[in-house]
A and B are shown apart, each in its own frame.
Chain A
Amino acid sequence: MLIPHPLLGLRDAQEFTYLGDASLMDRPDPTLDNAETAFCDYVFMRDNPAGVHRELWFHEQGDRSWLVVTRNTITHEILGAELAKDLKLNRKDAQ
């Protein structure tokens, strides 16, 4: 699999390590009343879809950036990649 790194172009997936579902970027708020349940869901529960999946890959043997890669889990086709940092910053701007 080749991952289209936004800064470095197509890179072999082997240069990356895989973490999992991109929703792991959204940590629950530990001060909320239901924080215990929310954290249990966050740590252990997954959508695990067959089809399009947004997921976190770390460019460990490259520029050490985190990417959010959109990939089809049935075909392994990679549909896009963004810097996780950009996503987070854009979201903060939007708020």
Chain B
Amino acid sequence: MKFSGFRVVKEALTGHKGWGALWRNPEPKPDYDIVIIGGGGHGLATAFYLAKTFGKARVAVLEKGWLGSGNIGRNTTIIRSNYLLPGNEPFYEFSMKLWENLEQETNFNSMVSQRGIINLFHTDGQRDAFRRRGNAMMLAGADARLLDQSELRKMAPFLNFDNARFPIKGGLMQSRAGTARHDGVVWGYARGADMRGVDIIQNCEVTGFRIENGAVKGVETSRGYIGAGKVGVAVAGNSSRVMAKAGMRLPMESHVLQAFVSEGLKPTIPGVITFGAGHFYVSQSDKGGLVFGGDIDGYNSYAQRGNLPVVEDVLEGGMALMPMIGRGRLLRSWGGVMDMSMDGSPIIDRTDIEGLYFNGGWCYGGFKAAPASGYAFAHLLATDRPHETASAYRFDRFARGHIIDEKGVGAQPNLH
């Protein structure tokens, strides 16, 4: 089934009877060449690129719940490539380029909307830091622009420019950044992978690994044993739990991050605005809801829900930045479990167990990374070599002292 304008017209004229399911619901086969654990954005993107770009067909994705039940269905959908460090920026820019062509590649409407992101600054020191970041971005082929206050006032007149504690002096803008429909990304990748022969198996929890002579042979699951030539793990917040079953400890803590959406309001917010000093960021969905969030709660958690102090903290940040939202009403809030790594950057690497590969440590920023992460992980699984943009994401960088710490806060996950 191919989606097109022509198809929409045809279905409209014939009572919409021709739309089928987007993917099959197959029984697991006894074995596969490659088994991916985790049907989130990264697992599905990996399967998609394995099938489409690297020509692998005997691939399965095992998901313990339903597709989109993890962080991929819980995030605030911001996509951007405005990183500073050389280990990161080329990777995120590669992801941005994949986003720009995603809908053509998957033939699915993921509602990628390049409405721009603005990071606000309040001091001369911050302006210098953002200028440096913008230059680093441009060196990696991304776009960046430093906005002064008068330019910013035209774009977002509702901001509290004269806030006594954090007066807004300007912002760093990336025009190509924006948002995408998170569920659309899941469905597009799932459908694209399934169409090319990948088995997507839901309600199938991996409970253990079968490892013989230092090599992985397959996985134990709630639906029986499944053999595998190679196993790729992409389970985000559950990384430590799953890898412990293979006897590995990770440089990672799991933390809860909350997000919020208001009732639908008239269009006001032009793109994504981040107020780092106030621990608040916001965008507006196409339905009109303000989608916003702030910091992680800050203690280890697998609960998929947070606590009230952070709710208050985020809303205070919002009120400080744009007092007009005080009249709006909050519709919903929720939480997701983040795989917070010790330097705030991810890992895409082989393990010491032959045939076992790992992808994780995405912290609160793995949605934007999903396309490049899937591509790079597929590259690693198919060729046994890291993709050129992901070559810094190694397990041993901690022992070698080559950590990738964008914030410079050290091995303290709740500060990244």
Binding site for B on A (CB under 8 A): 1, 12-14, 18-21, 37, 40-41, 43-50, 53, 55, 71, 73-76
Beta-carbon contact of B414 and A18 below 8 Å = yes
Which of B240, B299, B309, B398 touches A48 (beta carbons < 8 Å)?
A: B240
Beta-carbon contact of B302 and A46 below 8 Å = no
Complex Cα gap A49–B399 (Å): 22
Beta-carbon contact of A18 and B299 below 8 Å = yes
Q: Considering only CB atoms, which chain A residue lies closest to B399 in the complex?
A: A40
Complex Cα gap A37–B396 (Å): 12
Binds A, one of B85-93, B219-227, B248-256: B248-256
Complex Cα gap A27–B412 (Å): 16
Which of A20, A73, A76 touches B307 (beta carbons < 8 Å)?
A: A76
A-B contact pairs, 7 of them (CB 8 A): A13-B307, A18-B414, A20-B253, A44-B411, A48-B240, A48-B254, A55-B299
Complex Cα gap A53–B240 (Å): 14
Beta-carbon contact of A46 and B252 below 8 Å = yes
B226-255 interface with A by 8 A CB criterion: 238, 240-241, 244, 249-254
Beta-carbon contact of A46 and B251 below 8 Å = yes
Q: B89 CB to closest chain A CB, in angstroms?
A: 23
Chain B residues, Cβ within 8 Å of A40 = 398-399
Interface majority SS on B: helix, strand, loop or mixed?
mixed
Beta-carbon contact of A55 and B300 below 8 Å = yes
Q: B74 CB to closest chain A CB, in angstroms?
A: 17
Q: A53-B300, A76-B301 are in contact. Are A43 and B241 (CB under 8 A)?
A: no
The answer, yes or no, to whether B298 is at the interface (CB within 8 Å) is: yes
Beta-carbon contact of A50 and B241 below 8 Å = yes
Q: B114 CB to closest chain A CB, in angstroms?
A: 36
Complex Cα gap A49–B309 (Å): 24
Which of A12, A46, A74 touches B253 (beta carbons < 8 Å)?
A: A46
Q: Considering only CB atoms, which chain B residue lies closest to A51 in the complex?
A: B302
Beta-carbon contact of A45 and B300 below 8 Å = no
Chain B residues, Cβ within 8 Å of A44 = 251, 342, 398, 411
Q: B121 CB to closest chain A CB, in angstroms?
A: 26
Give 7 closest A-B pairs by Cβ, nearest first: A48-B240, A44-B251, A44-B398, A50-B302, A18-B299, A44-B342, A14-B309
Chain B residues, Cβ within 8 Å of A20 = 253, 300, 412-414
Q: A3 CB to closest chain B CB, in angstroms?
A: 11
Chain A residues, Cβ within 8 Å of B409 = none
Q: Considering only CB atoms, which chain B residue lies closest to A12 in the complex?
A: B309
Q: B356 CB to closest chain A CB, in angstroms?
A: 18
A18-B298, A44-B398, A48-B240 known, 9 other contacts, Cβ within 8 Å = A18-B414, A20-B300, A37-B399, A43-B398, A46-B249, A46-B252, A48-B252, A50-B241, A75-B303
Complex Cα gap A34–B399 (Å): 13
- Which of B240, B249, B254, B300 has the most chain A CB atoms inside 10 A of its CB? B300
Q: Considering only CB atoms, which chain A residue lies closest to B413 in the complex?
A: A20
Q: Considering only CB atoms, which chain A residue lies closest to B400 in the complex?
A: A40
Q: B258 CB to closest chain A CB, in angstroms?
A: 13
Q: Considering only CB atoms, which chain A residue lies closest to B339 in the complex?
A: A48
Q: Considering only CB atoms, which chain A residue lies closest to B343 in the complex?
A: A44
- Which of A12, A37, A46, A75 has the most chain B CB atoms inside 10 A of its CB? A46
Q: B402 CB to closest chain A CB, in angstroms?
A: 12
- Which of A47, A55, A71 has the most chain B CB atoms inside 10 A of its CB? A47
Chain A residues, Cβ within 8 Å of B251 = 44-46
Chain B residues, Cβ within 8 Å of A48 = 240-241, 250, 252-254, 300
Beta-carbon contact of B249 and A45 below 8 Å = yes
